[in-house]
Amino acid sequence: MKSNRKLTDTELFLGCLSHSPSIQKEVYERYSHKMYALCRRYVKETAAAEDVLIVGFMKVFDRIHQFKGTGSFGGWIRRIMVNECLMYLEKEKNLYNEIGLDGILPLPVLSQPSDELAVEDLMKLINNLPMGYRTVFNLYAIEGYSHQEIAKKLQISENTSKSQLSRARTHLQKMIKTMTFNNNQRLLYA
């Protein structure tokens, strides 16, 4: 008889450490939805994001012995997924074609749109950013990495990281204004 009790992260870790297929399945089922959403923030194409997710989980199970128990198990899986996304982008060579070495632009003053954006709308806008902007924006604004950490991960300068973030914010601001303007126009003419 199967227990309905939810396994703790420690139990999941120990089960993966002993290469238990049922525990590995449980880990995948528990974390795959969130990790897929993370992959989609970095990798625009659905099939490629799914591939990155699978490779990321394979690395989780292959490198389970590297988890030191400091921090959360989910956070450790998340770091592996972020690194896998970055490796995919590097392999595709698109990231470095879009990241320029221009100076830092001043940070834009973001105005508040009149209507609140739904989370799905905001994620779509972020997904439409050029790959370099999107990657730095995700690492900084969503994952919480510093510009120094981003520079090291992406092998770029800190100033390039700051510049890409500034450009991402400016680009997002323009898209939000356009979206707000278009929505207001539809309301006026409806």
Same domain, 29 and 88: yes
Q: Give Cα separations from 29 to 63, 79, 98, 159 (angstroms).
A: 18, 18, 35, 39
What is the distance between the alpha carbons of residues 126 and 169, in angstroms, rounded to a whole number? Answer: 10
pLDDT given for residue 3 in this prediction: 55
What is the distance between the alpha carbons of residues 50 and 32, in angstroms, rounded to a whole number? Answer: 10
pLDDT tens-digit series, residues 132-184:
888 999 899 888 889 999 999 888 899 998 999 999 888 888 888 887 666 55
For residues 133 and 167, the answer to whether their CB atoms sit within 8 Å is yes
Q: In this predicted structure, which of 56-65, 72-81, 109-118 has the lowest mean pLDDT?
A: 109-118
Q: Domain of 162: which CATH number?
A: 1.10.10.10
Please give the tally of structural domains in the chain. Answer: 2
Pick the last residue of a domain from 68, 92, 116. 92
Same domain, 40 and 116: no
What average pLDDT does range 26-40 have in this prediction? 95
For residues 53 and 88, the answer to whether their CB atoms sit within 8 Å is no
- 148 or 106, higher pLDDT: 148
Q: What is the mean pLDDT of the chain?
A: 81
CB-based contacts of 26, cutoff 8 Å, min separation 6:
7, 12, 15
Quick check: pTM over 0.75?
A: no
What is the distance between the alpha carbons of residues 79 and 83, in angstroms, rounded to a whole number? Answer: 6
Instruction: State both tokens at 111.
Output: 């105005």
pLDDT band at 57 (very low <50, low <70, confident <90, very high): very high
pLDDT tens-digit series, residues 3-30:
567 889 889 999 999 999 999 999 999 9
Q: Which residue segment(s) compose the domain that 86 sits in? A: 1-92
3-class DSSP state of 117: coil
Q: Domain of 15: which CATH number?
A: 1.10.1740.10
pLDDT given for residue 44 in this prediction: 86
pLDDT given for residue 178 in this prediction: 80
- 11 or 116, higher pLDDT: 11
pLDDT given for residue 70 in this prediction: 82
Q: In this predicted structure, which of 51-60, 91-100, 153-162 has the lowest mean pLDDT?
A: 91-100
Ramachandran assignment for 60, one of left (phi > 0), alpha (psi -120 to 50 degrees), beta (any other):
alpha
Same domain, 71 and 132: no
Q: Give Cα separations from 146 to 72, 89, 96, 115, 138 (angstroms).
A: 20, 20, 19, 31, 11
Q: State which of 44-58, 112-126, 165-179 shows the largest mean pLDDT.
A: 44-58
